Structure 1
Amino acid sequence: MTTTTANRSILATPTRLRSANRSSLLRLYLIRGVLAVLWAAAFAKGHDPLDALAITLLVIYPLIDAVSSLIDYRSMPRDAERRITAFNAVLSTLAAIAMGVAGSFGVPAALAVFGAWAVIAGAAQLVLGLRRRGRELGKQWPMLIAGGLSFLVGISYGIRAFGEQPSLAVLSVYATGGGVFFIIQAGLLAWRARQQRCAAN
């Protein structure tokens, strides 16, 4: 192997790794988004009354986020991002357990726990989105907006939980919005990958 060929191989390796990371993230975002929308549709029909089915759905939603975070963690090369993703995986797992317990105490408790989780998870998503802003993964605007909205909406859920006639119907809207933002981010990653392939050719 000549020196020039070796140098090209070394330079190409990070590019291939970044491309593989982007492809993995694209698939993860797309699947995560579709699952969120499907969950929203199921919960819209099954949240009232707050029975065993509704509580099961409340447990499943943060578990989807926990599993997604673990998959993201395994494909992530950067230490700072891995720590944030690991934190989110643990947080969402604890949220799933808390939702199962809170659901047995009624709608206000379930809404309050969901709101607390949404606040912290939204903040983590904001930080992760800011760290991923770059050439390979784009500006991450959908993820930043979704994280910011999750933070703000989570606060409003906490307030509603202690108000008059709290309702879990709002969680379907939350999940639908989050799912749409994930799908949009997946689409933007696919568009960017196509742009780079065209530029390379």
Structure 2
Amino acid sequence: MSSLLRIYLIRGLIAIAWSIGFAAVHDSLTATSVILLIAYPVVDVVASLFDVREDPGTPARRLQVFNTALSALTAVGLGLAAIGGVGAVLFVFGLWAIVSGAAQLTVAIRRRGPELGRQWPMLVAGALSVIAGLTYLPAAVGDDPDLTALIMYTAAGGAFFVIQAATLAWKRRRRTRVTQA
């Protein structure tokens, strides 16, 4: 559980930092904003690989492997979409948010055991990811697509990962107190 706690915490803090950095450059598709856009799913790839390593032989593992491949494809897709403009980037990000959110939701449901907690922050984050992705698709093909929504999306996602890490830390501390008593 401590490895998963670290993965959640680091992943969450990176997402929050990314949202702050992206807020400074999101107005246009410059080299910096495109690099950040590509980097975001790459962070997900790395975190998912660590998560897969810590979660051998469980039903959630297959979904994490799927999410790793999906995020890697998304990084490539975002790089290519940047050539097509903001709408194309928002569309690819939206598709990724929908599918990865559904996977995150499913992993959280499968991890809802006594050791890993109720996973409510991950359940909420997965559901919100699907909803956000569904809103990005029509916005992407609208008259004035904008990447501003990605800032709140990534900051909120990061916050939910940090909250899940705090929940795991609390459960760990509580279990330690019970076994010492």
Does the pair score TM above 0.5? yes
The answer for the alignment partner of 1:19 in structure 2 is none
Structure showing greater Rg: 1
1:105-128 C-alpha deviation (Å, 9 max, x unpaired): 100000000000000000000000
Moved more, 150-159 or 79-88: 79-88
Which of 124, 141, 144 lines up with 1:165 in the alignment?
144
Bigger Cα displacement from structure 2, 45-54 vs 27-36: 45-54
> Deviation of residue 89 (structure 1)?
0.2
Matched with 2:173 is 194
SS of 2:144's equivalent in the other structure is coil
Unaligned runs of 5+ in 1: 1-21
Q: 2:132 aligns with which of 146, 150, 153?
A: 153
Higher relative contact order (CA 8 A, sep 6+): 2
How many percent identity over aligned positions?
49
Count of aligned positions: 180
| Correspondence for 1:27 | 6
Q: Output aligned runs, 1:70-85, within 5 Å.
A: 70-85=49-64
2:28 is aligned to 49
Q: TM-score, structure 1 length as denominator?
A: 0.88
Alpha-carbon deviations, 1:15-55, whole Å to 9, x = none? xxxxxxx1000000000000000000000001122111111
1:79 is displaced (CA, Å) by: 3.3
Return the alpha-carbon distance in structure 2 between the equivalents of residues 148 and 79 of structure 1.
Answer: 22
Partner of 2:99: 120
TM-score (norm 2): 0.98
- SS state of the match for residue 104, structure 1? helix
- Please give the root-mean-square deviation of Cα atoms over the aligned residues, in Å: 0.7
User: Which runs of 5 or more structure 2 residues have no equivalent in the other structure?
Assistant: none
* Pairing 1:53-132 to 2, within 5 Å after superposition: 53-132=32-111
